[in-house]
Amino acid sequence: MSAVEDVVNEAPAVEAVPKRAMTLGYGTSLVVLALLILVPLGVKNFIIFQLTMLLIYGLAVLALNILTGGSGQFSLGQSAFYAVGAYTSAILMEHANMNYALTLPIAGIICFGFGFLFGQPALRLSGVYLALATFALATAMPQLLKLGFFEHWTGGVQGLVVTKPDAPFGLPMSQDMWLYYFTLAITIGIYIASVNLLRSRSGRAFMAIRDNEIAASAMGVDVALYKTLAFGVSAGITGVAGGLGAIAVQFVAPDGYTITLAISLFLGMVVGGVGWLPGSIIGSAFIIFVPNIAEGISKGLSGAVFGVLLFLVIFLVPHGARQVAIVAQQLIGKLKKN
Amino acid sequence: MISLPKPRIAALATAVVAFAVMSGSALAQKKYDTGASDTEIKIGNIMPYSGPASAYGVIGKTEEAYFKKINAEGGINGRKINFISYDDGYSPPKAVEQARKLVESDEVLVVFNPLGTPSNSAIQKYLNAKKVPQLFVATGATKWNDPKDFPWTMGWQPSYQSEARIYAKFLMKEKADAKIAIMYQNDDFGKDYLKGLKDGLGAKSSMIIAEESYETSEPTIDNHIVKLKATGANVFINISTPKFAAQAIKKIAEVDWKVMHIVSNVSASVGSVIKPAGFENAQGILSAAYAKDGADSQWDNDPGMKKFYAFLEKYYPEANKLDGSVVFGYGVAQTMVKVLEMSGDDLTRANVMKQAASLKDFAPDTLLPGVKINTSATDFAPIEQLQMQRFKGEKWELFGDIISGELSN
């Protein structure tokens, strides 16, 4: 066997994550939750909008985390699922006059189906080859959305403008604040469900496949089923995030869902810590705020500054936010002992 | 129950009186909206400094340099311009984020010259709802001239449709026996052009004998050219972006297709299209222009261009004067300054919009002689005139009159 094949066939060495290390403790969770609920009360609508986008990208990163961190499959095609979710919501809202909240489960289901189907041929691929196949999906998606055949629904290159929902029941809050809490509720729901999924039988099957496919199948795990299932679940959650994104941005166009988005999400996952679900939100913060910081440092060289910052993060904390969290935990533990 | 409205009337009356008193005194004073003050005018802008369209980022840099020049010369009516420009990477969701940042966090008076049809489509509804002027957008789509539905959005450059109508007018006059073959890019740009061409030809649109569309993802468009040559057309209209336009010019020479070749203004750049395609292949090609070409020596002694070159030398020396984006950025920034000057001490968003809609025969330094900016409350399309030009030797030669492509409907 050649060296190249060795590298490709060898499962990526991800250290086994103990169940508890995958989430936050109850105390920390409550503090984070309280922060997420309280912060929007005192800031401008623009910041609330950014926080909403933070949660939405957080969801998309979480979805990728389940796929890569959970079942060990790479994907650079998340932008395609995100686009399908966004367009599903936008088309249902604008052409079928459907309530925005109802479009989200539909976006999720359609993307689940789409991801599950894509997972079938992807079964034959692993590692970098799978990453390339999903990359193809991400490159193809914006062009598919421009096809004249779909133009009646998608609006072609012009995209679709989406109406932003008002707060229901005459609640005295701005559209942005309502949308934030709406997104927060969905995010918390999906987060809890994802944690439970990874702790369940299926989750253990995902991780068994990630750690060693042959051993997993020897233990009776239906590798094909669980691999495609992981794709489906990941795509479904990404679809819901896409739908929320369409409502928050109020606009969908093919140019919004290019390969750049897929790479950003992948980056968010790595920065947040592969396989550590709470890291998703930190990864999402990285992909939203760091480009702005980079632009603040130098407009002409924003890309280069972003690259340097990214390099520093990967160099100093290769396991991302998870590593920082572990170090912090140890420090607190030491302080308590003293 | 009946007595309930009474206090409201009283309150209303008080408010009216109070308002009358206040506005009476305000008339004599300066009026400001968010983003303007005695010392400063904040102008927001969104540009693709990174990403697939980053070549256009030069426009934002030119504008920044131009406002620096205005500030160095004392500002506008004593107020300095604070130009805040953000990068959206040509991504509509990012453009929305940046537009909201400009309006809600930086509190700019106007959003000026944001670039790209998708990005502008994404922020149009938001800015109109907020009643923030979205002035002189950098895109040629026709939809920006819609004062009824979007009274806070205005274009600047000639729309693709008006340019296409000019070609239609030209063909009907000069080539009555035209058999037209069209190649267009399959997106909003190409389709807008095609519509303008058909509208312009009107009853004579049967002169179009072939249409071919291409995708930007295609590596080469050679096969389309060969196919169109086979139709026996004697006019070829080339609605493409620079890379493809250069390929087409080269291929037509290669297959020896003797045809009247019209290239859209988007791809009329000597530096990025004609030169790569080869001067010998481009002789006699037709196009239309509204701005002077920085690469063209015939403007070296033009007073407007002299001012432009002097500006580049002092405030933006690293600029490439062959780049059409620099000429564009200068012209559009000059229009913005003109509107702010006209607004005087009434720097409210409504007044800025009103002044932008009352430009009369304004001619920025970089526009062709005779091309003038005119707007009105029902006409939000500042530049609507172009002049035909023919490529000869190593430069474009203008000919004929300035033609208006004004959309009459």
Task: Give tens-digit pLDDT for A77-104.
Answer: 899 999 999 999 999 998 888 888 999 9
C-beta atoms of A260 and B89 within 8 A? yes
Residues contacting residue A82 through CB under 8 Å, at least 6 positions apart? A60, A238, A239, A241, A242, A245, A257, A261, A265
**B88 contacts chain A (CB < 8 A):** no
Provide the phi-psi class of B34: left if phi over 0, else alpha when psi is between -120 and 50, else beta.
beta
Mean pLDDT of the region B259-268: 90
> Which segments of B139-296 does DSSP mark as H helices, in order?
160-174, 188-201, 222-230, 242-254, 275-277
Which pLDDT belongs to residue B8?
53
Q: Is the pLDDT of residue B200 over 50?
A: yes
C-beta atoms of B186 and A258 within 8 A? no
Best A54, A147, A249, A305 residue to mutate vs chain B (most B CBs within 10 Å): A249
Q: What residues in B contact A158, CB-CB < 8 Å?
A: 117-118, 121, 188
Beta bridge partners of B183: B212, B238
Give the mean pLDDT of chain B: 86
Provide the phi-psi class of A127: left if phi over 0, else alpha when psi is between -120 and 50, else beta.
left
The pair of structure tokens assigned to A33 is 């939750």
pLDDT band at B1 (very low <50, low <70, confident <90, very high): very low
The pair of structure tokens assigned to A257 is 């869902």
Look at residue B178 and give its three-state secondary structure: coil
* Minimum Cα–Cα distance from B85: chain A residue: A299
In this structure, the strands spanning B395-404 and B346-347 are: unpaired
For chain A, what percent of residues have pLDDT higher than 90?
30
Mean pLDDT of the region A30-35: 86
In a domain, B165, yes or no: yes
CATH of the domain at B73: 3.40.50.2300
Angle at B61 between CA B57 and CA B63, to 5 degrees: 115
* Minimum Cα–Cα distance from A151: chain B residue: B187
The model's pLDDT over A145-154, given as tens digits with 9 standing for 90+, comes to 877 677 778 8
B245 and B262 belong to one structural domain: yes
* Minimum Cα–Cα distance from B90: chain A residue: A255
B316 close to B62: Cβ distance less than 8 angstroms = yes
Best B34, B106, B121, B134 residue to mutate vs chain A (most A CBs within 10 Å): B121
Which pLDDT belongs to residue B44?
95
B207 and B247 belong to one structural domain: yes
Q: Kindly report the backbone phi and psi dihedral angles of residue B376, in degrees, each rounded to the nearest multiple of 5, phi listed first.
A: -150, 180
Which pLDDT belongs to residue B15?
52
Find the helix or strand (DSSP H, E) in which B61 lies.
Answer: helix B57-72
Gap from B236 CA to chain A (nearest CA, Å): 24
pLDDT band at A11 (very low <50, low <70, confident <90, very high): very low
In a domain, B24, yes or no: no
Mean pLDDT of the region B301-316: 92
B323 close to B58: Cβ distance less than 8 angstroms = yes
In a domain, B207, yes or no: yes
Most confident of A167-171, A304-308, B315-319: B315-319
Q: What residues in B contact A262, CB-CB < 8 Å?
A: none
Which pLDDT belongs to residue B85?
93
B212 and B283 belong to one structural domain: yes
The model's pLDDT over A246-303, given as tens digits with 9 standing for 90+, comes to 999 888 988 888 888 999 999 999 998 888 888 899 999 999 888 888 888 877 777 7
Long-range contacts of B226-233 (CB under 8 A, 24+ apart): B226/B251, B226/B255, B228/B181, B228/B183, B229/B255, B229/B257, B229/B259, B231/B179, B231/B181, B232/B179, B233/B179, B233/B180, B233/B181, B233/B209, B233/B259
The pair of structure tokens assigned to B212 is 């071919």
CA atoms within 13 A on the CB side of B217: 8
Residues contacting residue A38 through CB under 8 Å, at least 6 positions apart? none
Q: Is the pLDDT of residue A59 over 90?
A: yes
Best B45, B88, B94 residue to mutate vs chain A (most A CBs within 10 Å): B94
Which pLDDT belongs to residue A79?
93
B196 close to B162: Cβ distance less than 8 angstroms = yes
Q: What is the DSSP letter of B274?
A: I
Q: Kindly report the backbone phi and psi dihedral angles of residue A164, in degrees, each rounded to the nearest multiple of 5, phi listed first.
A: -80, 135
Domain total of chain B: 2
Q: Over the Cα atoms of chain B, what is R_g? A: 24
B118 close to B92: Cβ distance less than 8 angstroms = yes
Q: Is the pLDDT of residue A16 over 60?
A: no
Look at residue B380 and give its three-state secondary structure: coil
Q: What residues in B contact A252, CB-CB < 8 Å?
A: 92
C-beta atoms of A260 and B51 within 8 A? yes
In a domain, B5, yes or no: no
**B40 contacts chain A (CB < 8 A):** no
Which pLDDT belongs to residue B12?
52
**A298 contacts chain B (CB < 8 A):** no
Residues contacting residue B72 through CB under 8 Å, at least 6 positions apart? B315
CA distance B28 to A17: 72
Mean pLDDT of the region B96-112: 92
Which pLDDT belongs to residue B25?
43
B167 and B151 belong to one structural domain: no
In a domain, B22, yes or no: no
B356 and B394 belong to one structural domain: no
Between B376 and A122, residue with greater pLDDT: B376
Best B46, B87, B108 residue to mutate vs chain A (most A CBs within 10 Å): B87
CA distance B312 to B309: 5
Which pLDDT belongs to residue B9?
52
The pair of structure tokens assigned to B316 is 């933006």
Best A47, A251, A265, A297 residue to mutate vs chain B (most B CBs within 10 Å): A251
Gap from A19 CA to chain B (nearest CA, Å): 36
* Minimum Cα–Cα distance from B124: chain A residue: A161
Beta bridge partners of B112: B135
Which pLDDT belongs to residue A88?
93
The pair of structure tokens assigned to B358 is 């009352």
C-beta atoms of A260 and B117 within 8 A? no
CA distance B309 to B304: 9
Mean pLDDT of the region B266-290: 88
B262 and B317 belong to one structural domain: no
The pair of structure tokens assigned to B233 is 């057309």
Q: What is the pTM of this model?
A: 0.80
Which pLDDT belongs to residue A39?
86
C-beta atoms of A256 and B92 within 8 A? yes
CA distance A127 to A132: 9
> Which segments of B266-357 does DSSP mark as H helices, in order?
275-277, 303-315, 324-343, 349-356
In a domain, B21, yes or no: no
B238 and B321 belong to one structural domain: no
Between B396 and A158, residue with greater pLDDT: B396
**A49 contacts chain B (CB < 8 A):** yes
Beta bridge partners of A160: A252
CA distance A234 to A59: 10
In a domain, B3, yes or no: no
In a domain, B32, yes or no: no
Residue B136: domain span: 40-158+299-378
Which pLDDT belongs to residue A1?
38
Which pLDDT belongs to residue A21?
53
C-beta atoms of B104 and A299 within 8 A? no
CA-closest candidate to residue A271, choices A259, A261, A284: A284
Residues contacting residue A234 through CB under 8 Å, at least 6 positions apart? A63, A64, A66, A67, A75, A78, A81, A115
Q: Which of B50, B122, B188 sits opposite A251 (nearest CB)?
A: B122
Q: Which of A143, A158, A300 sits opposite B217 (nearest CB)?
A: A143
Per-residue CA distances from A118 to A16, A145, A230, A287 (Å): 27, 18, 11, 26
Mean pLDDT of the region A220-237: 91
Q: What residues in B contact A264, CB-CB < 8 Å?
A: none
Predicted-assembly ipTM surpassing the 0.90 threshold: no
Q: What is the DSSP letter of B376?
A: B
pLDDT band at B186 (very low <50, low <70, confident <90, very high): confident
**A28 contacts chain B (CB < 8 A):** no
Q: What residues in A contact B93, CB-CB < 8 Å?
A: 53, 245, 249, 251, 256
Q: Over the Cα atoms of chain A, what is R_g? A: 20
B175 and B270 belong to one structural domain: yes
Between B307 and B187, residue with greater pLDDT: B307
Look at residue B390 and give its three-state secondary structure: strand
CA-closest candidate to residue B337, choices B14, B63, B154: B63
The pair of structure tokens assigned to B405 is 């492509």
Per-residue CA distances from B133 to A46, B116, B128, B129, B357 (Å): 18, 17, 7, 10, 11
Q: What residues in B contact A303, CB-CB < 8 Å?
A: 50
Give the mean pLDDT of chain A: 85
Q: Which B-chain residues 235-274 have CB contacts (< 8 A) with chain A? A: none
Mean pLDDT of the region A205-225: 89
CA distance A100 to A247: 8
The pair of structure tokens assigned to B34 is 């968010």
The model's pLDDT over B32-77, given as tens digits with 9 standing for 90+, comes to 988 899 999 999 999 988 877 777 888 999 999 999 999 999 999 9
Mean pLDDT of the region B128-150: 91
Q: Is the pLDDT of residue A41 over 70?
A: yes
CA distance B6 to B24: 27
B248 and B303 belong to one structural domain: no
Q: Is the pLDDT of residue B5 over 50?
A: no
B372 close to B361: Cβ distance less than 8 angstroms = yes
Look at residue A181 and give its three-state secondary structure: helix
CA atoms within 13 A on the CB side of A108: 17
B129 and B167 belong to one structural domain: no
Q: Is the pLDDT of residue B407 over 70?
A: no
B126 and B164 belong to one structural domain: no
Q: Which of A44, A157, A250 sits opposite B187 (nearest CB)?
A: A157
How many Cβ atoms from other residues are within 10 Å of residue B194's Cβ? 21
B167 and B240 belong to one structural domain: yes
Q: Which A-chain residues 132-151 have CB contacts (< 8 A) with chain B? A: 143, 146, 148
The model's pLDDT over B146-169, given as tens digits with 9 standing for 90+, comes to 999 999 999 999 999 889 999 998
